[in-house]
């Protein structure tokens, strides 16, 4: 049975953009609403497929992943990292808060 989803609103698009930390200009909201609605509609169509008897795919090929030893390799010099980082507190790199009031999901 097909479940009809509700209409995607401009507020939904703004919320998704905020959660993804994307600066989305107001004049592009409608364009992105249409695109996001198309993607979600396609996902809904995939959900309608009858997958009875279809085994989950674990590997595309015949070979499983070959694991290598977890050995540290060359590291970026601290000075180079500090020069590239947008915000630092040497010897640390500051990153935006993503939990609590940081705006994350």
Query: Which pLDDT tens digit goes with each residue over 34-66?
Result: 999 999 999 999 999 999 999 888 777 777 667
Gap between the Cα atoms of 87 and 95, Å rounded = 7
Percentage of the residues of the chain whose pLDDT score is greater than 70: 88
Nearest 5°: phi and psi at 41? -65, -40
In the chain, domain spans: 10-47
For the chain, count helices (H), then strands (E). 3, 2
Gap between the Cα atoms of 21 and 104, Å rounded = 9
């Amino acid at each position: 049975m097909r479940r009809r989803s509700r209409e995607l609103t401009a507020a939904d698009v703004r919320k998704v953009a905020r959660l993804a930390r994307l600066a989305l200009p107001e004049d592009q909201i409608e364009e992105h609403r249409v695109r996001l609605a198309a993607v979600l509609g396609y996902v809904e169509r995939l959900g309608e497929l009858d997958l009875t008897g279809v085994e989950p795919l674990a590997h595309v090929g015949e070979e499983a992943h070959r694991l290598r030893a977890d050995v540290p390799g060359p590291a970026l010099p601290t000075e180079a990292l500090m020069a590239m980082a947008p915000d630092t507190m040497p010897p640390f790199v500051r990153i935006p808060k993503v939990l609590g009031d940081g705006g994350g999901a």
